[in-house]
Amino acid sequence: MENLKLVDAFTDFVEESTLPYRQMMTYYNCALMEVETKFKVLNEQFSLFYDRNPIESIHTRIKSQSSILKKLQKKNLALTIPNIENNLFDIAGVRVVCAFTEDIYSLVNSFLSQDDVRLIEKKDYIQNPKENGYRSLHLIVEIPIFLSDEKKWIKVEVQFRTIAMDFWASLEHKIRYKKNLSKERLDEIDKELLECAQICKTLDEKMEEIKTGN
Ligand code: GTP
Ligand code: MG
């Protein structure tokens, strides 16, 4: 009996002390739902006008506890809620995979012109691919979530890719992060992956040409 009381007290203690963390994660989850809905709405409207869906898929994810910890350590920051909120901008992540590169720019324009979306940062790795060949358009935005008694602005990272860019990035991640590869093998892989990135870019351009009939 005495033991059970102790277990209850411990459970209460854990729940109480982790409440601010769980609350913050709930806010990020709500922000993800808001952003996902915005893209679903844009997809519907686009398909009404153009008779096709620009969005192939939307994935959302919350950064795992271990990734949060690793990133804070990398930045030499202690594990505190303000440190997470003020320094990690990809706790809530959305990936929007589009059919064509052109669709990405239309979606980004429509999304950023909404008056409850604040742009914090934009990285266009489509115009300026990374050295390894990575292409995608990244936004960090802030959007409001409406709670019972307040409005809170929450940061969300949105990555836009075509199917070909997503294909390359997914496989590159799987291949590149394999353990126990020699330096020579890694250099070889990097070279081959860069070639594949070029092929994906050509594919995107070709598909766009076929669509527009040029
Ligand atoms: P981190 O957020 O710490 O990665 O640094 P950053 O904010 O400078 O990175 P950036 O905005 O360039 O990229 C953030 C995210 O984009 C990563 O977490 C990946 O999801 C994706 N990404 C960036 N570069 C690559 C790459 O070379 N390969 C793959 N597969 N994904 C990448
Ligand atoms: Mg980042």
Give the closest ligand to the alpha carbon of residue 139: 1
pLDDT single digits (tens) 150-202: 999 999 999 999 999 999 999 999 988 877 888 888 899 999 999 999 999 99
Q: What is the mean pLDDT of the chain?
A: 93
pLDDT for the residue numbered 10:
82
Ligand 1 atom nearest residue 130's Cα: 27
Between the CA of 12 and the centroid of ligand 1 the distance, in Å, is 38
Per-residue confidence band for 214, with pLDDT thresholds at 50, 70 and 90: low
Please tell me the distance from the alpha carbon of residue 193 to that of residue 163, in angstroms, as a whole number.
16
Which CATH topology does 1-212 take? Beta Polymerase; domain 2 (3.30.460)
Q: Is 25 in the pocket of ligand 1 (CB under 6 A)?
A: no
Closest listed ligand to the CA of 194: 1
Compute the 3-state secondary structure of the chain and give helix, strand, coil in percent, each to the nearest 5: 55, 20, 20
Whole-model pTM?
A: 0.92
Q: How far apart are CA 73 and CA 62, in angstroms?
A: 18
